[in-house]
Amino acid sequence: MRVLLVEDERALAGAVQRGLTAQGLLTDVQHDGVAGLDAAMAGTYDVVVLDLMLPGMNGYEVCRQLRAADVWTPILVLSAKDGDYDQIDALELGADDYLTKPFSFPVLVARLRSLMRRQGVGRHPVLSAGDLRLDPATREASRGSTPLDLTPREFGLLHYLLRNKGVVVTKLDILQNVWDVSHDGGESAENVVEVYVGYLRRKIDQPFGVRSIQTVRGAGYLLTDSISS
Ligand code: CA
């Protein structure tokens, strides 16, 4: 799941970005309204976290233009302004939720998950391969009737493999989509992918005597409906 954070306070933006990424929510940051609008228009985000007082273009205007352009990515407005009037303005312009600074980080995460869940019907269908299931909205995964206890990174990796079921993905594809894109490739980064694929196999395959993640030598990994191992 990808989050766009539009926030001009760089220290706050950096802290929120790190926090969300640690929660498995890959987060890109833009520091002004114009760049934020451009990025949000691309439409590849699951949710936008939008400050109101921004250089270039304020958050109200970003919101208005996105909706006018028929982009309906959920928007959570984040602002130091806390009057009822401001909240109503933001909601009338098409924001979905509102959080006042200073805010509690766990509350932000909970609100974002809730927004994505509401939006999620149809957009983030439950993914499966054989009896392996993953629900991106509730962040639950299971093999048959057994719930799987995955870390955020393992969950992100499984989500990516399931989205590409039946397709060989390279370690670099995985790094760029599951880890922060700022990771450049290189052998040590690719080793990290191998290690995590190993963790995942020990949780989703080996205890069940199946093999759903296959290594394609010299190419990458392939997730398929499970094969008995
Ligand atoms: Ca601001």
pLDDT reported for residue 128 = 92
Residue 35 Cα to ligand 1 midpoint, Å, equals 14
Domain with 8 in it: what CATH number? Answer: 3.40.50.2300
Instruction: Kindly tell me if the per-residue pLDDT of 19 is higher than 90.
Output: yes
pLDDT reported for residue 65 = 92
Q: Give the position of tokens 């303005």.
A: 89
Of residues 36 and 89, which shows the higher confidence score? 36
Residue 28 Cα to ligand 1 midpoint, Å, equals 17
Q: Which of 15, 7, 14 is nearest to 33 (CA)?
A: 7
Both 143 and 115 in a single domain?
no
pLDDT reported for residue 177 = 77
Instruction: Kindly tell me if the per-residue pLDDT of 85 is higher than 90.
Output: no
Both 19 and 82 in a single domain?
yes
Residue 72 Cα to ligand 1 midpoint, Å, equals 23
pLDDT reported for residue 9 = 95
Residue 113 Cα to ligand 1 midpoint, Å, equals 23
Both 114 and 155 in a single domain?
no
CA 25 to chain centre: 4
CA atoms within 13 A on the CB side of 115: 25
Per-residue pLDDT band at 31 (split at 50, 70, 90): very high
Residue 7 Cα to ligand 1 midpoint, Å, equals 6
CA distance 78 to 43: 20
Q: Give the position of tokens 């991106």.
A: 136
Residue 10 Cα to ligand 1 midpoint, Å, equals 10
When computed from its CA atoms, the radius of gyration of the chain, rounded to whole angstroms, is: 19
Both 71 and 129 in a single domain?
no
Instruction: Kindly tell me if the per-residue pLDDT of 181 is higher than 60.
Output: no
Instruction: Kindly tell me if the per-residue pLDDT of 183 is higher than 60.
Output: no
Both 169 and 209 in a single domain?
yes
Domain with 165 in it: what CATH number? Answer: 1.10.10.10
Residue 52 Cα to ligand 1 midpoint, Å, equals 6
Which residue, of 59, 88, 120, is where some domain finishes? 120
Asked if 98 and 77 touch (Cβ cutoff 8 Å), the reply is yes
Both 7 and 116 in a single domain?
yes
Q: Which of 44, 187, 46, 56 is nearest to 120 (CA)?
A: 46
Instruction: Kindly tell me if the per-residue pLDDT of 215 is higher than 80.
Output: yes
Both 102 and 15 in a single domain?
yes
Both 7 and 115 in a single domain?
yes
Range of the domain at 145: 125-228
Residue 15 Cα to ligand 1 midpoint, Å, equals 15
Mean pLDDT, rounded, for 54-81: 88
How many independent structural domains does the chain possess? 2
Both 224 and 138 in a single domain?
yes
> Across all residues in the chain, what is the average pLDDT?
87
Q: What is the pLDDT of residues 102-145, one digit of tens each?
A: 889 999 999 998 888 776 544 567 899 999 999 877 788 999 99
Residue 67 Cα to ligand 1 midpoint, Å, equals 21
Residue 85 Cα to ligand 1 midpoint, Å, equals 18
Largest interatomic CA distance in the chain:
61
Residue 190 Cα to ligand 1 midpoint, Å, equals 38
